[in-house]
């Protein structure tokens, strides 16, 4: 008998390309039928066959206080009764901007948008507009949403500009993007020596979560800060994932780095579409209506989404919130690592705040190249064993995982127990 998930997936593929509205949801990388989710609460969600899972993706980051937190739901309900969208400013938007500026001190001014893609795309345009330069630098393995100039991979040589990674991106756009190696400060410095005067900005995930979890080395970010200042390029930290996830002040507070611009998303919307970009006021004033860099949005600063975000940002400021989140996440990855050792499986794991990485490798990878050497086949087998046991991990070997404040000791313990059985099964295969 086919499951309800199978039926829904077959039906979805008739009306939607691949049956999903965002590619990784289709389980292409791990195989099998995606789970269609019907409801979620705390650390759990339920699929169409009414199976319950411990959720370790949390909507890919936003669900940091757990699903359907009563405070967040109440804030959304109250806001919704006052009207869904006005297309005119509200006091709640000022409060959110003020709060973001207070929690992330490098942000002197901020603008709200509706997705991380939009925020990163706008930050790039702003950096280009403010510097009058076209060239940008990004790093292999980092994802900043799907704006044309960011869907680019490295060209044939160090100083050759990139090639599109997606059909539909003109080479003329990609040729302004230089793609360098993550965690290679010497290479970055050399490129700046060669062409620093034509670089508008460098954009980076300070704790990369889109090639599995890969934190930047402090030296890499410090070098970036130094060369950007020296050559007048804008340093952009993409904290869509790491912001309010690895620490209350984001990765920049952990590293002690002050970027010129920061890109935020995910947690700041608490599960509804809010993202933002902000930073130095002298750069932000180039934005319309003050300056010549155009940027706008019908639903930007939407009253309902802002209410969800504000309720979430209030909860994460509770004393001890990040200490607890980090401790629970560390407990999970230590438990997984110990379970793998018992089964003699080549595996290791890492975490930063409420984000974690699982690696089928003997050592924690420190670069994109070493990350790509992780055993994907083993990850896929582990993923399915865990899914069968009711633990939902990211359906790809190269995505980070997320823990919420509702993942208590019992949840972590039962996840480790499932991992112990999964590793034992892998050892037998
Ligand atoms: N930047 C980073 C670091 C991200 O992780 C993501 C999404 N995973 C984005 C940008 C794009 O955000 P969105 O999916 O909201 O467009």
The per-residue pLDDT for range 208-254, each reduced to its tens digit, is 999 999 999 999 999 999 999 999 999 999 999 999 999 999 999 99
Q: Show the ligand 1 pocket: residues with CB < 6 angstroms.
A: 60, 115-117, 120, 143-145, 205, 209-210, 238, 240-241, 265, 275
Nearest CA to ligand 1 atom 13: 116
Catalytic-residue membership of 359: no
pLDDT average, residue stretch 300-321: 98
Inform me whether the pLDDT recorded for 334 exceeds 80: yes
List of residues 6+ apart from 284 with CB closer than 8 A: 108, 109, 110, 111, 126, 278
Of 112, 408, 420, the C-alpha closest to 275 is 112
pLDDT of residue 157: 79
pLDDT average, residue stretch 72-77: 98
Q: Which of 58, 210, 401 to mutate to test the pocket of ligand 1 (most atoms within 8 A of CB)?
A: 210
Inform me whether the pLDDT recorded for 1 exceeds 80: no
Nearest CA to ligand 1 atom 5: 241
Please tell me the distance from the alpha carbon of residue 158 to that of residue 172, in angstroms, as a whole number.
18
What average pLDDT is seen over the chain?
97
Out of 44, 56, 143, 255, pick the active-site residue.
Answer: 143
pLDDT of residue 409: 98
The per-residue pLDDT for range 370-408, each reduced to its tens digit, is 999 999 999 999 999 999 999 999 999 999 999 999 999
The per-residue pLDDT for range 194-218, each reduced to its tens digit, is 999 999 999 999 999 999 999 999 9
Q: Are 105 and 256 in contact (CB under 8 A)?
A: no
Q: What are phi and psi of 62, to 5 degrees?
A: -60, -35
Catalytic-residue membership of 266: yes
pLDDT of residue 2: 82
User: Where does the pLDDT of residue 160 fall: very low under 50, low under 70, confident under 90, or very high at 90 and above?
Assistant: confident
Ligand 1 atom showing the smallest separation from residue 22 Cα: 14
Catalytic-residue membership of 143: yes
Please tell me the distance from the alpha carbon of residue 417 to that of residue 115, in angstroms, as a whole number.
36
Of 263, 322, 222, the C-alpha closest to 106 is 263
Q: What is the dihedral of CA 297, 302, 305, 308, to 10 degrees?
A: 140
Inform me whether the pLDDT recorded for 72 exceeds 90: yes
Of 239, 117, 234, the C-alpha closest to 166 is 117
Inform me whether the pLDDT recorded for 85 exceeds 80: yes
Identify the structural domains of the chain with CATH numbers, from first to last.
4-64+319-428 (3.90.1150.10), 70-315 (3.40.640.10)
pLDDT average, residue stretch 29-36: 96
Q: Which of 116, 267, 297, 305 to mutate to test the pocket of ligand 1 (most atoms within 8 A of CB)?
A: 116
Inform me whether the pLDDT recorded for 159 exceeds 90: no
Out of 135, 138, 266, 331, pick the active-site residue.
Answer: 266
- H/E run at residue 37: strand 37-41
Of 43, 44, 46, the C-alpha closest to 35 is 46
In the reported structure, the alpha carbon of residue 143 is separated from the centroid of ligand 1 by a whole-number distance in angstroms of 7
Q: Are 305 and 132 in contact (CB under 8 A)?
A: no
Q: Are 360 and 419 in contact (CB under 8 A)?
A: no
- How many residues in the chain? 429
Ligand 1 atom showing the smallest separation from residue 242 Cα: 3
Of 178, 137, 135, the C-alpha closest to 158 is 178
pLDDT of residue 158: 75
pLDDT of residue 161: 85
Ligand 1 atom showing the smallest separation from residue 266 Cα: 15
């Amino acid at each position: 008998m086919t499951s309800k998930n199978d039926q829904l997936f077959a039906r979805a593929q008739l009306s939607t390309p691949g049956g999903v509205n965002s590619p990784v949801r289709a389980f292409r990388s791990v195989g099998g039928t995606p789970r269609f989710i019907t409801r979620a609460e705390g650390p759990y969600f339920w699929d169409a066959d009414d199976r319950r899972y411990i959720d370790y993706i949390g909507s890919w980051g936003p669900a940091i206080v757990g699903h359907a937190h009563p405070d967040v739901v109440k804030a959304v309900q109250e806001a919704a009764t006052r009207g869904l969208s006005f297309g005119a400013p509200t006091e709640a938007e000022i409060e959110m901007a003020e709060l973001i500026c207070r929690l992330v001190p490098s942000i002197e001014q901020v603008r709200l948008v509706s997705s991380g893609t939009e925020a990163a795309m706008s930050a790039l345009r702003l950096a280009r507009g403010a510097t009058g330069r076209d060239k940008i630098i990004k790093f292999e393995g980092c994802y900043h949403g799907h704006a044309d100039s960011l869907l680019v991979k490295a060209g044939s040589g160090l100083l050759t500009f990139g090639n599109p990674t997606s059909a539909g991106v003109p080479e003329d756009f990609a040729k302004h993007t230089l793609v360098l190696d993550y965690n290679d400060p010497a290479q970055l410095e050399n490129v700046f020596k060669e062409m620093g005067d034509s670089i508008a900005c460098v954009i980076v995930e300070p704790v990369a979560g889109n090639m599995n979890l890969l934190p930047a080395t402090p030296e890499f970010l410090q070098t970036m800060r130094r060369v950007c200042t020296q050559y007048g390029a804008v340093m952009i930290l993409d904290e869509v994932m790491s912001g309010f996830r690895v620490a209350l002040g984001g990765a920049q507070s952990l590293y002690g780095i002050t970027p010129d611009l920061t890109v935020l998303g995910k947690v700041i919307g608490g599960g509804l579409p809010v993202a933002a970009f902000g930073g130095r006021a002298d750069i932000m004033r180039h934005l319309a209506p003050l300056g010549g860099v155009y940027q706008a949005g019908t639903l930007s600063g939407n009253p309902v989404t802002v209410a969800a975000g504000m309720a979430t940002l209030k909860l994460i400021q509770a004393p001890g919130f990040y200490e607890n989140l980090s401790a629970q996440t560390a407990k999970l990855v230590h438990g997984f690592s110990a379970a793998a050792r018992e089964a003699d499986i080549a595996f290791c794991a890492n975490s930063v705040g409420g984000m974690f990485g699982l690696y089928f490798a003997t050592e924690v990878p420190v670069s994109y190249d070493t990350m790509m050497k992780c055993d994907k086949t083993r990850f896929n087998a582990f993923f399915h064993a865990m899914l069968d046991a009711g633990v939902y991990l990211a359906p790809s070997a190269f995505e980070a995982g997320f823990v919420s404040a509702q993942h208590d000791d019992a949840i972590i313990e039962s996840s480790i127990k499932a991992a112990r059985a999964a590793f034992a099964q892998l050892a037998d295969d």
